[in-house]
Amino acid sequence: MSNLVAQQNAVTELMRVSPLADELAERFARAGHSLYLVGGSVRDALLGRLSADLDFTTDARPDRVLAIVNDWGDAVWDVGIAFGTVGVTKKGMTLEITTFRADSYDRVGRNPEVTFGDTIEGDLLRRDFTVNAMAIDLVTKTFIDPHDGMDALRLQVLDTPATPQESFADDPLRMLRAARFAAQLGFTAAPRVVAAMTSMAAQLERITAERVQAELSKLLLAADPRPGLELLVDTGLAEHVLPELPGMRLAIDEHHQHKDVYQHSLTVLAQAIDLEQRHEPVSGPDLVLRLAALLHDVGKPATREFQPGGGVSFHHHEVVGARMARKRLRALKYPKETIEAVAQLVFLHLRFHGYGGGEWTDSAVRRYVTDAGELLPRLHKLVRADCTTRNRRKAAALQATYDELEARIARLKEQEDLNRVRPDLDGNEIMRLLGLSPGPQVGQAWKFLKELRLDRGPLEHDDAVAELKKWARDQGITPPG
């Protein structure tokens, strides 16, 4: 894409929001201040994908910005005012207006000593990457590009306005942002950026787990996370973010008795993303499914055993993997519900392979559905994505077998409410029939009836009562009457 075409794209996109931008620029000009569209908004305008969230910068100090927009915006907030940012919503668009920054960093923590600047050039110099260091003067509609960001955009290269060493020393999170942009934009990091990321990877220890998690999640939610994940692993950053990922790069034995687990996991992730919309579509990227796909075989390195005769086994790697996934996601401060969902999917992902040629009983199918619970649609996708064999006949057979399992689930669901499997008798009836007060024995009886329900499906009421009383006698409980 030539610079001229890129500029035309930017102007076209800018015209789409120009009445709003022009209106805002006029207010700042009347107050004696400049206003620029900046950063990711300019980058996205050049790419023809400007969103409804716009970033602006100005020479006006935060209190002046508040005064200028206070009676103009539909809503105004000042949560980020300590960092020079005022937020505004107007006609369905979200605008963030930040005073020129000329921050200094102690290079121990991440948060800078906030210092306001006086020039757009100084503000652009402190930005993370040259593709984010361009601005559009909203009064003259002219481009400001002191660091050749447009050329970097055309070449799809991630480079820094200052040296990478200076940039990453100021804020190590920028290294993770490089990997995220590699995933989101499909750009390649410049050699000097890769070198700095590799030598400075340990600097990530300065960043809080919450900030690391946020960047990792954005990377995984990209259309194609693979380039970003590979950059994390190749530079050593993954050792400080998700060490289990490079840990899956097992040395392949001389007889090639197993796949490269790392490459396999990246392929499963890509296939799971493809299935998000093709199989039981969802409204947007599914972070839980993507984390589970990436980590489903994370337990293999710890469970690998070489068998006599040259075979390799990974017994119970799903159990070990669920435990490892839970531990890592906790360290990254993911929400509890996300952690448990991912761990359960990792734990269940091998269950289907016991299905074989379709010889599961209805009881086994009920247990599969019950154990998955609300995760069943994701489990379907994960299991299907886990087939990476190049043998087309074998792949087709596996998919056909899973088709049959889903069909059986559907047939059983027509007959029974598999999503809410409960005993045929409730707790109150159990206590009445057995003459029990609330306590552990009631819970044991309830569990027995639920297992019976899973094994045999719905029972007639009299049959359920008979089975309960038989169980009670076996436990030394004498029912009344």
Extract the tokens encoding 100: 């020129």
In a domain, 395, yes or no: yes
pLDDT tens across 220-256, in order? Answer: 999 999 999 999 999 999 999 999 999 998 645 444 4
In a domain, 177, yes or no: yes
**Domain boundary at 402, 419, 436, which?**
419
Q: Which residues of the chain have pLDDT under 70?
A: 1-18, 103-113, 250-259, 306-307, 309-313, 356-358, 415-421, 424, 481
Whether residue 136 is found in the same domain as residue 257: no
Q: Which domain holds residue 214?
A: 157-241
Dist CA 28 CA 86 (whole Å) = 14
Answer whether 57's CB lies under 8 Å from 100's CB: yes
Amino acid residing at 75: A
Extract the tokens encoding 425: 């008798």
Whether residue 148 is found in the same domain as residue 263: no
Rounded to two decimals, what is the model's pTM? 0.81
In a domain, 479, yes or no: no
Whether residue 264 is found in the same domain as residue 221: no
Give the CATH number of the domain where residue 334 resides: 1.10.3210
Q: What was the pLDDT predicted at 242?
A: 96
Whether residue 267 is found in the same domain as residue 351: yes
In a domain, 481, yes or no: no
Dist CA 371 CA 368 (whole Å) = 5
**Domain boundary at 241, 276, 305, which?**
241
The residues, any chain, with a CB within 8 Å of residue 15's CB and separated by 6 or more, are none
The residues, any chain, with a CB within 8 Å of residue 313's CB and separated by 6 or more, are 303, 304, 305, 307
Give the CATH number of the domain where residue 204 resides: 1.10.110.30
Helix axes 336-348, 317-331, angle to 10 degrees: 160
In a domain, 229, yes or no: yes
Whether residue 139 is found in the same domain as residue 234: no
Answer whether 19's CB lies under 8 Å from 55's CB: no
Give the CATH number of the domain where residue 71 resides: 3.30.460.10
Look at the chain and report how many structural domains it folds into: 4
The residues, any chain, with a CB within 8 Å of residue 336's CB and separated by 6 or more, are none
Positive or negative torsion for Cα 13, 15, 20, 26: positive
**Domain boundary at 241, 268, 287, which?**
241
Whether residue 171 is found in the same domain as residue 237: yes
Dist CA 7 CA 296 (whole Å) = 44
Whether residue 147 is found in the same domain as residue 190: no
The residues, any chain, with a CB within 8 Å of residue 363's CB and separated by 6 or more, are 454, 455, 456
Whether residue 465 is found in the same domain as residue 415: no
Whether residue 257 is found in the same domain as residue 363: yes
User: Under DSSP, is residue 36 helix (H, G, I), strand (E, B) or coil?
Assistant: strand
Whether residue 134 is found in the same domain as residue 221: no
In a domain, 480, yes or no: no
Whether residue 163 is found in the same domain as residue 137: no
In a domain, 435, yes or no: yes
The residues, any chain, with a CB within 8 Å of residue 391's CB and separated by 6 or more, are none
Whether residue 255 is found in the same domain as residue 282: yes
For residue 431, give the H/E element and its range. Answer: helix 427-434
In a domain, 467, yes or no: yes
Q: What was the pLDDT predicted at 367?
A: 83
Q: What was the pLDDT predicted at 439?
A: 84
